[in-house]
Amino acid sequence: MPPATAHFIISSFFPHELEEHLGLMPRYRAKQLFQSIYQGKMHWDEITVFPQAVRSRFANLYPLISSSVMKTYQDRANTKFVIRLIDGQIAEAVLLMDKNGRKTACVSCQVGCAMDCAFCKTAQLGLRRNLDAGEIVEQILHLQHRHGRIDNIVYMGMGEPMNNLNNVIKSIRLLAHPDGLGMGLRRFTISTCGLVDGIRRLVEEKLPVGLAFSLVTADQSLREELMYTAKANPLPQVKQALLEYQRFTGQRITLEAALMAGYNDRPKDAQLLSEFVQGLDYMFNLIPWNPVPGLLFRRPNQAEIEAFTAILHSHGVKVVRRYQRGANVAAACGQLGAEVLSSQAK
């Protein structure tokens, strides 16, 4: 059994691992524990299939759920959870609800991020640490505890999923486990700023989840100016990895761009984008940049958005204009991380 002083996160383990690490006997106790966590039990006393003596013993050693919800911010359709992790670090998770009532969870995989994208709030944090698989899972457990069953999960919160891929993959397999939530793999989407090795690793792992690529611009030199990873992951290599992934999954790939007025909304960007998408089965999401205090980019106005959309259409690009979701609670794309900075300042 791990020492009681260790940061032992129970939600990080499959039933056979719980049996091994906790020495649970009889052997079916590990399965009961695993099922109880995904049924929404948050404390040992709630696992009534365990004898009271067993519950008391483990309650004195390890929390059933290692993290806790510090704050919530909510508007009509969206909720941001500020979650305190076992070591006091902070992660943020978001629940988005569409007009049909479908619920999508946007989870973080790191505290902060090492990618240093010039237009992103999370980049201002730097990378504090990776999240454990269980800490990713617990974001879903907290959201479901408050809002009921989640329909889709997207790895689009704080951090670059491909930079913590072992824990991201394990969290997906835990959530998809038939004794857990039993979620189908196609209900998961991983978003990346374009780490080629990570995209190829998903093929090797035979993990046919959805894939979203934060393209931003198909101008390689501008990408290198805006995104730290672009030089080591040039667009021709990224596209080749996307094609390999598409052949493996048979799924449409989502391309995304945060539109910043005067930066990536030039006719040249539309032309290069139309060339990049050749051969891909894709949908291109155009997202007006969400303002971040201290960053000097400008959100395009409606006329600028419509003008660039028209140019894209003239080049034959299949584009969907996405509107702000979560901005009222500082939970839109590129805005996560304010709570981490705030806690650091105290």
What type of residue sits at position 212?
A
Catalytic residues: 92, 333
Distance separating alpha carbons of residues 245 and 260, to the nearest angstrom: 29
CB 329 within 8 A of CB 79: yes
Reported in sequence order, the residue ranges of 124-197 that DSSP labels E, i.e. its strands, are 127-130, 152-155, 188-192
**How wide is the angle at C-alpha 4 spanned by C-alphas 3 and 5, nearest 5°?**
90
Please name which of 77, 92, 117 lies closest in space to residue 326, comparing C-alpha atoms.
77
C-alpha torsion 229→231→234→238, nearest 10: -10
Residue whose pair of structure tokens reads 């006719």 in the numeric block = 267
DSSP for 22-86, written as a single string: H--SSTHHHHHHHHHHHTT--SGGG-TTS-HHHHHHHHTT--SS--EEEEEEE-SSEEEEEEE-T
What type of residue sits at position 142?
H
| CB neighbours of residue 113 within 10 Å | 27
Please name which of 279, 213, 207 lies closest in space to residue 243, comparing C-alpha atoms.
279
